[in-house]
Amino acid sequence: MDLALGDVLRFAIFSDIHAGVQSHTDTHVFSEPPNSAPKENPLSDLTDFIISRQLKADWVLNPGDLANRADSGGQIYGWNRLDQIKSALGASSVFGAVGNHDLDTHNPVADPAIILKNVAPPFPTSDLALNRQYWAEGFYLDDSQEHFRVLNVNTCADFPPHPGANASPADLAEYHTLLDRGSISAARLQAIETRVSSLPWKPINLALLHHHPVEHQRRELLKDTYGPMNNGERLLELLEMANHAGRWMVVHGHKHLPDFNIDGSSGNSPMLLCAASVGGKLWPPVSTVARNQFHIIEFEIDNVLGLPRTRGFVTSYAWSFGTGWGTAYPNTGLPARFGFGMIDDYRSLAAQVLAVVDAKGKKSIRWREITAALASVEYLGPRDQTLFEAELKSLGLEPERNGDFGLSRISRKATW
Reported in sequence order, the residue ranges of 271-310 that DSSP labels E, i.e. its strands, are 271-274, 292-300
Contact of 9 with 58, CB cutoff 8 Å: yes
From CA 144, how far away is CA 373, in angstroms rounded? Answer: 37
Task: Please give the pLDDT value at position 416.
Answer: 54
Q: How many Å separate Cα 347 from the centre of its chain?
A: 28
Please confirm whether the linkage preceding 121 is cis (ω < 30° from 0): yes
From CA 171, how far away is CA 161, in angstroms rounded? Answer: 12
Nearest to 56 by CA among 91, 83, 81, 84: 91
Handedness of CA 44, 46, 49, 54 (dihedral sign): negative
From CA 219, how far away is CA 257, in angstroms rounded? Answer: 9
DSSP 27: B
Which residues sit opposite 409 in a β-bridge?
A: 366, 400
From CA 375, how far away is CA 368, in angstroms rounded? Answer: 9
CA atoms within 13 A on the CB side of 93: 13
Per-residue pLDDT for the chain (416 aa), expressed as one digit of tens each? 555 545 899 999 999 999 998 767 899 998 876 677 899 999 999 999 999 999 999 999 999 999 999 999 999 999 999 999 999 999 999 999 999 999 999 899 999 999 999 999 999 999 999 999 999 999 999 999 999 999 999 999 999 999 988 899 999 888 888 888 899 999 999 999 999 999 999 999 999 999 999 998 888 888 777 889 999 999 999 999 999 999 999 999 999 999 999 998 899 999 999 999 999 999 899 999 999 999 999 999 999 988 999 999 999 999 999 999 999 999 999 999 999 999 889 999 999 999 999 999 989 999 999 999 999 999 999 999 999 999 999 999 999 999 888 899 999 987 55
Burial of 278 (0-12, 13-18, 19+ CB in 10 A): buried
Residue 391, φ and ψ in degrees, nearest 5: -70, -40
Nearest to 15 by CA among 64, 57, 49, 87: 64
Which residues sit opposite 299 in a β-bridge?
A: 9, 312
Residue type, 22: Q
Please measure the distance between the N-terminal and C-terminal CA atoms of the chain and give it in whole angstroms.
57
Handedness of CA 402, 56, 154, 232 (dihedral sign): negative
Contact of 181 with 227, CB cutoff 8 Å: yes
Task: Please give the pLDDT value at position 415.
Answer: 59
Q: What is the pLDDT of residues 154-168, one digit of tens each?
A: 999 999 999 988 899
Render 103-129 in DSSP notation, one character per residue. S--SS--S-TTHHHHH-SS-SS-S-HH
All domains of the chain in start order, with CATH: 8-340 (3.60.21.10), 346-412 (1.10.10)
pTM of the complete model: 0.95
Which residues sit opposite 370 in a β-bridge?
A: none
Neighbours of 26 (CB within 10 A): 13
Residue type, 50: I
Adjacency order of strands within the sheet including 364-366? 364-366, 407-412, 397-401
Indicate the SS3 state at residue 227: coil
Q: What is the pLDDT of residues 95-144, one digit of tens each?
A: 999 999 999 998 999 999 999 999 999 999 999 999 999 999 999 999 99
Indicate the SS3 state at residue 285: coil
Contact of 285 with 221, CB cutoff 8 Å: yes
Render 40-82 in DSSP notation, one character per residue. S-HHHHHHHHHHHHT---SEEEE-S--BSTT-HHHHHHHHHHH
Task: Please give the pLDDT value at position 228.
Answer: 93
Task: Please give the pLDDT value at position 7.
Answer: 86
Indicate the SS3 state at residue 235: helix
Contact of 292 with 280, CB cutoff 8 Å: yes
